[in-house]
Amino acid sequence: MMRVMTKGEPRALFSAIAADLVPLVESYRRWLRYEKRMAARTVTAYESDLAAFFAFLAEHLGGAPGVSDLRALGVADFRAWLARRHGRGLARSSTARALAAVRGFFRHLDRRHGIHNPALAALRMPPPRRPLPRPLEPEQALSLTDAARREAAPSWVLLRDYALLLLLYGCGLRIGEALALDRAALGADPAGLRSLRVRGKGGREREVPVLPVVAAALAAYVEVCPQRLSHDGPLFRGVRGGRLDPSVVRKRVRNLRVGLGLPDSATPHALRHSFATHLLAAGADLRVIQELLGHASLSTTQGYTAVDGSRLLALYEQAHPRAR
């Protein structure tokens, strides 16, 4: 039976479904807009995802799906839909949103209209891939840290920023970990500092070695800082005397990378990634890198193996008995 379209209705949303399903879809759209109060763009995206889902079902089932068809869908049917999306090369983030739209629709059918389908609840989608770290080349990391002490700013600020960036690259600290340090962390002789106790995520503490060049930079900053660095006060101070804010550091690095022609991926956190990647490239053990970074799980650290796969392959070929 032909249905008259009303103004504002997405034509594709109703073109592939049976008449008994139309009012249920309209009910879901109203719920999204007026009860859930989703942003208009999000609602439009959900409608597009549902339309694509219904189009798949029409092809998959050999006809426009109705209420009875939705009740009868099994896990294999939903997996076939996901497989179709994967085969078309759609991004995981796009499929995750589409799955959220379809799940929401089926929950709405269950709660508001008594139409239940247990199959969707049993469907599990692989977690999205974590974006790979984007480290700098060693020359880029060194140029970024060195440039921090050659800008137009008070000398103590230049030494502060240089020491901070060296700490990120030389010790693999997160920016939050570095800025949370108190003066007491350096001890009585910053120039002779050989290790640093850092509190990371989840309150986990770790001991990280400190290179002489990093210790020297920290000592130089402490010596010239015009503000009183009390034993239990912040190590890195802003120009107004409080603990240095991460946004100030990010802005400074952004200005430095523009001047050096470095990519947008050159951020304070990229220095931490670079620390780990360059250690791995030099043959450091992955477990050691895990300890230095303060990762609770080795699987998190293993993300760096994809960054330097060529180095790992070379080590494998050198070490494995069958490769000799």
Catalytic residue among 116, 201, 204, 287: 201
Amino acid identity at 312: L
DSSP string, 229-258: --TTSBSSB-TTSSBPPHHHHHHHHHHHHH
Query: Is 322 among the catalytic positions?
Result: no
pLDDT tens column, 142-199: 999 999 988 778 999 999 999 999 999 999 999 999 999 999 999 999 999 999 999 9
Catalytic residue among 33, 243, 269, 311: 269
Query: Is 257 among the catalytic positions?
Result: no
pLDDT tens column, 236-250: 999 988 999 999 999
| Cα(244)–Cα(167) distance, integer angstroms | 15
What average pLDDT does this structure show over 94-105?
92
Catalytic residue among 149, 257, 272, 278: 272
Buried b (16+ CB within 10 A) or exposed e, 223-232: eebeeebeee
**Any bridge partners for residue 243, and if so which?**
237
What pTM value is reported for the model?
0.59
pLDDT tens column, 72-95: 999 999 999 999 998 998 888 889
Listed in sequence order, the DSSP H helices in the chain are 11-15, 22-30, 40-61, 67-72, 75-87, 92-113, 119-122, 138-147, 155-171, 175-179, 212-224, 246-260, 268-281, 286-293, 298-301, 309-319
Residue 315 has pLDDT above 90, yes or no: no
Question: In the prediction, which pLDDT does 211 show?
Answer: 92
Backbone angles phi, psi at 201, to 5 degrees: -65, 145
User: All domains of the chain, ordered by start, with CATH?
Assistant: 11-122 (1.10.150), 138-319 (1.10.443.10)
Catalytic residue among 108, 174, 237, 278: 174
pLDDT classification of 129: cutoffs 50, 70, 90: low
Query: Is 174 among the catalytic positions?
Result: yes
Query: Is 160 among the catalytic positions?
Result: no
Residue 316 has pLDDT above 80, yes or no: no
Question: In the prediction, which pLDDT does 3 show?
Answer: 37
Question: In the prediction, which pLDDT does 297 show?
Answer: 77
